[in-house]
């Protein structure tokens, strides 16, 4: 990828000049732990008759460090070489890990050097070394040293995670919270991180696969801890306001934002073609459009023209009764995006967050949810994340029957889907699916920008089509008087589905619509539509400003009521490989005007879903109360019978 205008190149010679210092740190240094508690591990064995390797000497100018406490030697090269086996030779995996650590340390030191020059720290270090640092500059000097320590440590963890991610297997290692986070200066910060990494490898690694998993897990935990620490730290502007690109590794460093290796996931699911999805016309049509929208993402600009122009679906909810086709819809959309990405050569990452990600260990469910969101959001891939049966996974706030893990997941998804730090680049989408959406927390459900009603086959033609499809060809039964799959012609079916929403479907909303329509007439102005929206809010207090935003987003999607031509997906040169501005102009030409019919239909579609959820929720609550009352009455009768008997 080429450099963007706001990126600086981190030159290879500036990185490689730090290789010697990086190797010296990996060879060995003494460290006195300040915060972290040492694990009960054995020291790595040394070969008899061989001298120790070179000891690390400080390369940070202007700093004099001294300690009189008991020190503990850290020898990561020996630790890694002895991890997971008795082979006297270094394995390719161990060598890759060591090379990755050396490279990550060198990149971190190079970025630290850049930061020191940009922030004025380098000059203060020279003054300090010469004994010319005035008292008035000491506070600034200390703050800059702490900022440099945070930046260098984060870049080290970020680069380490990025470089070693392609080596990850199926093994998982829990390293726990990183404790030895030191901010006196960059050198001490790296010593603390390497000391704790050495402790984790010694205690948790039993084979090579766990070695990579342990190092990557440590890097993730260290990044999270440093990012939290940096939120209130001063003098970080020169780091967070800059962006560096390491061309050789295709690594981009953007402040305290983790870089992700552009690694797609290998899909083993059974894909479905659009003609194999019977019924669900609007849901199928929007899923097909969304699959093509994702492909408009520009990897150089890291933005999708649809996200800028409006009409991109970042989150959606598919709901319907069991057996109506939610899984089939997921298989269809994932298959379409996977095929498009293979043609274009883009990495595609599909991930599902299921009930098995809920853990009894405190905090683990939230960590799983964060990792899921981060993997799908990765700006270097096309991402599709699904949360199936979200009513079982994310708990309602205040619901005593929800576990702590479910509550953690709800909090993570609410922040990720519409939080203060949410950035919609247009490279990914999240789909939440449920048979019982009324059991999903109201605020989380309203973070679904689009609603896909997955109601399965509805008409006589739908049932004939699905029967013929599932019967296959191994029979001689005549079809009869029927045009097979004619009813599934998507444009015709979708037009009919949208027109059906000129009036609401739910009885409660229909009463509101008829009342307002009788008062103001046709809803052909913004003022009249606003009157209708206020009447809906009076009938259902949960119909808030977020609902209006979701409706207007859906209207913008309707303004993009076109499918990108199939030829653009089949021949990437026609569209996918064009620059961002060209793609944006091509999309803008296809937009259609927004009409009052579109707005009214989208109001009715969204409000119908909320009324449907509320009615189901109320009905379930009433049924539960009736059942409880019946049990109470039965218990009273039995008690009186036993007492009098």
Nearest one of 157, 116, 100, 108 to 10, comparing CA atoms: 108
Question: Residue 50: its pLDDT value, please?
Answer: 39
Based on the domain organization, do 340 and 489 belong to the same domain? yes
β 243-246/251-254 pair status: antiparallel
How does pLDDT run across 509-552, given as a tens digit for each residue? Answer: 999 999 999 999 999 999 999 999 999 999 888 788 878 888 88
DSSP β-bridge partners for residue 383: 349, 428
Residues 6 or more apart in contact with residue 417 via CB below 8 angstroms: 314, 315, 430, 444, 447, 448
Please give the average per-residue pLDDT across 622-628, as a whole number. 76
pLDDT at 267 over 70: no
pLDDT computed for residue 58 by the predictor: 44
Residue 628 has pLDDT above 90, yes or no: no
pLDDT at 69 over 60: no
Q: What is the pTM of this model?
A: 0.58
Sheet of strand 315-319, all strands in order from the earlier edge strand to the far edge: 348-352, 382-388, 428-434, 315-319, 450-453
> Domain for residue 564, yes or no?
yes
Chain CA centroid to CA 202, Å = 31
Mean pLDDT value across residues 376-381: 88
Highest averaged pLDDT of the listed ranges 213-222, 263-272, 622-631: 213-222
Residues of 170-186 as b/e, b for ≥16 C-beta within 10 angstroms? ebebebeebebbbbebb
Q: Are residues 427 and 315 in the same domain?
A: yes
pLDDT for 387: 93
pLDDT at 140: 93
Least confident of 355-359, 392-396, 559-563: 559-563
Q: Is 289 within the bounds of a domain? A: yes
According to the model, what pLDDT value does residue 323 have?
72
More confident of the two residues 453 and 244: 244
**Domain end: 563, 583, 601, which one?**
601
Residues 38 and 124 in one domain: yes
- DSSP state letters, 368-422: HHHHHHHHHH-TTSEEEEEEETHHHHSPPTT-TTS-HHHHHHHHHHHHHHHSTT-
Same domain, 288 and 197: no
For residue 590, is it within any domain?
Answer: yes
Confidence of residue 67 (pLDDT cuts 50, 70, 90): very low
Q: HSE (CB half, 13 Å, CA atoms) of 596? A: 9
Cα gap 17→109, rounded to integer Å: 10
Q: Are 104 and 197 in contact (CB under 8 A)?
A: no
Are residues 241 and 375 located together in one domain of the fold? no
Rounded to 5 degrees, φ, ψ at 497 are -65, -45
Task: Please state which of the ranges 24-38, 94-108, 170-184, 621-635 shows the lowest mean pLDDT.
Answer: 621-635
End residue of a domain, out of 193, 221, 254 = 254
Same domain, 481 and 353: yes
How much is the pLDDT for 54? Answer: 37
Indicate if 147 and 289 belong to the same structural domain.
Answer: no
Tally of CB atoms within 10 A around 392: 16
Task: Check whether 634 has a pLDDT greater than 90.
Answer: no
Q: Looking at the domain assignment, is residue 477 inside a domain?
A: yes
The pLDDT of residue 490: 61
How many domains would you assign to the chain? Answer: 2
In a domain, 316, yes or no: yes
**Average pLDDT over every residue of 372-379:** 88
Helix (H) or strand (E) holding 111: helix 92-119
User: Residue 77: which domain range?
Assistant: 12-44+73-254
221 part of a folded domain: yes
Q: CA 414, CA 442: separation in Å to the nearest integer?
A: 11
**Strand 315-319 with 428-434, pairing:** parallel
What's the pLDDT score for residue 262? 57
Q: What is the mean pLDDT of residues 613-639?
A: 75
456: Cα separation from own chain's centroid: 29
> Is 304 part of any domain?
yes
In this structure, the answer to whether residues 234 and 328 fall within a common structural domain is no
Per-residue three-class SS string for 197-263: HHHHHHHHCCCHHHHHHHHHHHHHHHHHHHHHHHCCCCCCHHHHCCEEEECCCCEEEECCECCCCCC
Examine the domain organization and report whether 454 and 417 are in the same domain: yes
Query: Do 383 and 416 fall into the same domain?
Result: yes
Residue 47 has pLDDT above 60, yes or no: no
Q: What is the mean pLDDT of residues 624-632?
A: 82
CB atoms within 10 A of CB 526: 10
415 shares a domain with 322: yes
| Contacts of 462-468 spanning 24+ positions with Cβ under 8 A | 462/278, 462/279, 462/487, 462/488, 465/278, 466/278, 466/279
Position 456 pLDDT exceeds 80: no
Token representation of residue 87:
């082979």
**Does residue 258 carry a pLDDT above 50?**
yes
Say whether pLDDT at 560 is over 50.
Answer: yes
Is 99 inside any structural domain? yes
Q: Using the predicted structure, report yes or no on whether residue 413 has a pLDDT greater than 70.
A: yes
Q: What is the CATH number of the domain that holds 557?
A: 3.40.50.300
**Mean pLDDT, all residues of the chain:** 84
The reply to whether 437 and 581 lie within a common domain is yes
More confident position, 555 or 123: 123
- Confidence at residue 52, expressed as pLDDT on a 0 to 100 scale: 40
Write down the pLDDT at residue 115.
Answer: 94
Task: Quote the pLDDT of residue 68.
Answer: 38
* Packing angle of the helix pair 208-230, 186-204 (nearest 10 deg): 140
Residue 263 has pLDDT above 80, yes or no: no
> Using 50, 70 and 90 to split pLDDT, how confident is the model at 479?
confident
Q: What percent of the chain has pLDDT over 70?
A: 86
- The mean-pLDDT minimum among 69-78, 158-167, 302-311 falls in 69-78
User: pLDDT band for position 305 (50/70/90)?
Assistant: very high
- Position 495 scores a pLDDT of 64
């Amino acid at each position: 990828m080429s450099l963007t205008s706001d990126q600086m190149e981190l030159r290879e010679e500036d990185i490689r000049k730090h290789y010697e210092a990086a190797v010296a740190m990996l060879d060995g240094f003494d460290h006195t732990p300040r915060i972290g508690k040492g694990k009960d591990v054995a020291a790595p064995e040394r070969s008899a008759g061989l001298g120790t390797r070179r000891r690390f000497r400080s390369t940070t100018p202007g700093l004099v460090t001294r300690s009189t406490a008991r020190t503990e030697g850290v020898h990561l090269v020996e630790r890694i070489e002895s991890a997971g086996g008795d082979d006297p030779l270094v394995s390719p995996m161990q060598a890759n890990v060591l090379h990755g650590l050396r490279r990550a340390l060198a990149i971190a030191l190079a970025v630290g050097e850049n930061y020191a020059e940009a922030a004025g720290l380098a000059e203060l270090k020279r003054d300090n070394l010469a004994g010319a640092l005035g008292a008035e500059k000491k506070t600034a000097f200390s703050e800059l040293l702490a900022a440099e320590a945070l930046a260098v440590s984060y870049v080290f963890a970020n680069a380490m995670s990025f470089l070693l991610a392609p080596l990850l297997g199926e093994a998982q290692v829990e390293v726990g919270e990183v404790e030895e986070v030191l901010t006196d200066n960059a050198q001490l910060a790296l010593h603390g991180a390497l000391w704790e990494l050495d402790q984790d490898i010694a205690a948790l690694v039993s084979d090579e696969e766990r070695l990579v998993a342990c190092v990557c897990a440590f890097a993730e935990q260290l990044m999270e801890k440093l990012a939290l620490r940096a939120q209130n730290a001063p003098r970080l502007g020169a780091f967070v306001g800059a962006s560096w690109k390491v061309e050789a590794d295709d690594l981009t460093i953007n402040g305290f934002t983790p870089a992700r290796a552009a690694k797609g996931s290998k899909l083993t699911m059974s894909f479905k073609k659009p003609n194999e999805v019977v019924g669900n016309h609007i849901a199928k049509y929007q899923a097909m459009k969304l699959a093509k929208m994702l492909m408009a993402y520009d990897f150089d600009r890291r933005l999708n023209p649809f996200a800028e122009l409006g009409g991109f679906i970042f989150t959606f909810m598919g709901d319907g009764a069991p057996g109506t086709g939610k899984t089939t819809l997921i298989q269809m959309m994932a298959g379409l995006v996977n095929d498009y990405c293979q043609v274009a050569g883009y990495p595609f990452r599909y991930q599902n967050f299921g009930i098995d990600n809920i853990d009894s260990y405190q905090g683990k469910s939230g960590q799983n949810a964060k990792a899921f969101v981060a993997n799908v959001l990765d700006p270097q891939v096309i991402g599709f994340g699904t949360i199936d049966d979200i009513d079982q996974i994310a708990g309602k706030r205040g619901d005593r029957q929800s576990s702590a893990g479910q509550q953690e997941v709800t909090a993570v998804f609410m922040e990720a889907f519409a939080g203060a730090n949410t950035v919609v680049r247009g490279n990914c989408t999240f789909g939440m699916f449920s048979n019982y959406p009324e059991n999903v927390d109201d605020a989380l459900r309203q973070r679904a920008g689009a609603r896909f009603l997955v109601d399965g086959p509805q008409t006589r033609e739908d049932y004939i089509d699905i029967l013929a499809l599932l019967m296959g060809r191994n029979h001689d039964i005549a079809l009869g008087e029927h045009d097979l799959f004619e009813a599934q012609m998507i444009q015709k079916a979708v037009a009919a589905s949208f027109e059906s929403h000129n009036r609401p479907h739910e009885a409660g909303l229909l009463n509101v619509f008829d009342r307002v329509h009788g008062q103001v007439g046709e809803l052909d102005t913004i003022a009249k539509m606003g009157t209708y929206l206020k009447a809906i809010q009076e009938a259902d207090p949960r119909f808030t400003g977020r609902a209006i935003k979701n409706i207007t987003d859906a209207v913008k999607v309707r303004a993009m009521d076109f499918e990108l031509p199939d030829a653009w997906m089949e021949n990437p040169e026609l569209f996918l490989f064009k620059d961002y501005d060209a793609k944006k102009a091509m999309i803008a030409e296809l937009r259609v005007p927004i009409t009052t019919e579109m707005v009214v239909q989208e109001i009715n579609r969204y409000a119908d879903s909320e009324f449907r959820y509320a009615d189901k929720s109320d009905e379930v609550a009433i049924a539960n109360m009736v059942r409880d009352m019946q049990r109470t009455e039965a218990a009273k009768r039995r008690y009186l019978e036993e007492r009098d008997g």
